[in-house]
Amino acid sequence: MLCMMSAFWPDHAFGPFYRAAEVAPVLIDRTSGTAIGDMTEVGGLAASFDGIDDQSGASSSAKTATLDAFVGKTLAVPAAIDHIVCYGANNQGFLVNDNGDATIELRAKQGVAPTLSSEGTLLGSITFTDTSVREVKTINSNDTTTLWDHVWIRILPATLVSTRNAELEIWAAG
């Protein structure tokens, strides 16, 4: 009898209508962990984690005249990353006085904190044309299982320009 039932019953114990519950991503507390990166000008690294996602370039994390800038967190507790949401300054976007092209990468690393933006593992990226207004960019992680100690965005303008980031939300896999 058991052999006959196995021909009609799927390999899992819950039948053909079973579906694993989807767990929603969880926003990592912006006040936990330590800010990292080289966007230390104007509002400094803290500006990307002050909870204000609609702020001017004068209050945002910044780096002047660059082709490469980064801001992120050393997490208080290692986490698997689902996605990030980053916000450009409401009066400048991500690139100051430049409606040029840019790429934003989502990167992560285990162990020692990065000193260079290019370190770690690339988890995702987005390329766009900046519009000098508040822009919101979401980058999904291609690895939602590895536990990371450090998570950051790397802003790569196509031309030498100053960069801004108003806020960075890091979402852990649920």
CA 132 to chain CA centroid, nearest Å: 20
2-26 pLDDT tens trace? 444 444 444 445 555 545 567 899 9
pTM of the model: 0.87
Q: Which of 126, 152, 161 is nearest to 45 (CA)?
A: 152
Residue 89 has pLDDT above 60, yes or no: yes
Residue 49 · residue 31 · CB < 8 Å: yes
Residue 97 has pLDDT above 90, yes or no: no
Pick the more confident residue, 18 or 30: 30
Across 113-122, average pLDDT: 98
Residue 81 has pLDDT above 70, yes or no: yes
Residues in the chain: 174
122-140 pLDDT tens trace? 999 999 999 888 999 999 9
Quote the pLDDT of residue 25: 98
Pairing of strands 81-87, 26-27: unpaired
Quote the pLDDT of residue 106: 99
28 vs 164: CA distance, rounded Å: 22
84 vs 140: CA distance, rounded Å: 7
Quote the pLDDT of residue 98: 82
| Pick among 3.40.50.720, 2.40.50.100, 3.40.50.80, 2.60.120.260: CATH of 25-172 | 2.60.120.260
